[in-house]
Homo-oligomer: A and B are copies of this chain.
Amino acid sequence: MARKRRGSGKPTIMDVAREAGVSAITVSRALRTPKQVSDKTRTKVDSAIRALGYTPDPAAKALASHRSDIIGVILPSVTNSVFQDTLRGIYEVAETAPYRVQLGNTQYSAAEEERLLRGLLSQRPAGLILTGVDQSASTAGLLRGADFPIVQITEIGPAPFDMMVGFSHSQAAQLAAEHLVAAGYRRIAFLGARRDARSTRRLSGFRAVLEAHGLYDPGRVLFSEQPSSVPLGAAQLGELLDMDPKADAVLCNNDDLALGALFECQRSGIDVPNAFGICGFNDIDTMAVTHPALTSVRTPRREIGRQAMTMMLARLAGEDPGPTTRNLGVDLMPRASTARAA
């Protein structure tokens, strides 16, 4: 045994080349750009690969090409249900392609986002999907002129780094607020959990509409330090009614808060929708089956994920991704929880 043999035992591209009677680079090309290899050669290479059970080594590929097969996906929270559907859409499309998704959690922190991004950049990602439009200046600096595709998701705004797919959170909240006003509610509150850029934009949409009707009262806006949850919604509804017993409706920044609010009303014997209206946000599938069913704003979360990854893959394949900024819009889903007898 020669003393310098460090091989892993697994077949390498050289083994395949030998077996097929060609050079290593030809195997490499047969794998990456099959069109540049003759049919005959490709067939020989393919069967050599199968015969040996060859699998390319991603580390060697990344080292030699300065490009990994990693698509970074940076989200505020990997485990928040709001991002579940988006993540599902991302994975559904990603699983059809030869890339790996590398997830990162910012925990709603711009500093953490930058830290994650730096870690990702050291891996020379093939592409990046990230959330929102509120990156810090130094994060933006790292991203401007990046040599890989970038998709910003969930929101839309001016000056994308590259591509963008989402909807206007302010408009979405306006739609809900208009609905509550039109339904006849007058003392409408806003419940939110931990405040972030998107919830702030939703509040501003809500506020604009209520002010236009002369109905806005900052005393009926509640945020929390806690993450969004059903118990929080229940607690906040109690708090609201302590502060303003005459409040007659809530726009909840998240469906789970709306669910909690509904349970609290049931417990307190408050008549929904006649004495009190409830509107959620996102329209998770639970909303349609509660009793009474809950009004919500349907957001295209899964479609955002699907389209983001589809655009990404098109770019990576050198194809036309189509429109690079996409506002997917939202739909109001009026249900019993805001259908007042009049």
Contact = CB atoms under 8 A, between A and B. Distances in A.
Contacts of A78: 87-88, 91
Interface stretch (A62-70, A186-194, A327-335): A62-70
B123 A59 contact: yes
Measured as residues with beta carbon below 8 angstroms from the partner, the interface class of chain A is 35 or more
Contact of A286 (B101, B124, B231, B285): B231
Contact of A101 (B60, B103, B124): B103
Interface of A is mostly: helix
Interface stretch (A50-58, A165-173, A245-253): A50-58
Nearest to A286: B230
Given A59-B68, A78-B91, A103 B103 contact: yes
A263 interface: yes
Question: In this complex, which of A8, A56, A59, A290 has the most chain B Cβ atoms within 10 angstroms of its Cβ?
Answer: A59
Contacts of A267: 291
Contacts of A100: 102, 119
Interface string A225-242: 000011100100000000
Interface string A116-139: 001100111000000000000000
Given A58-B123, A264-B289, 4 more contacts: A59-B63, A78-B88, A100-B119, A263-B289
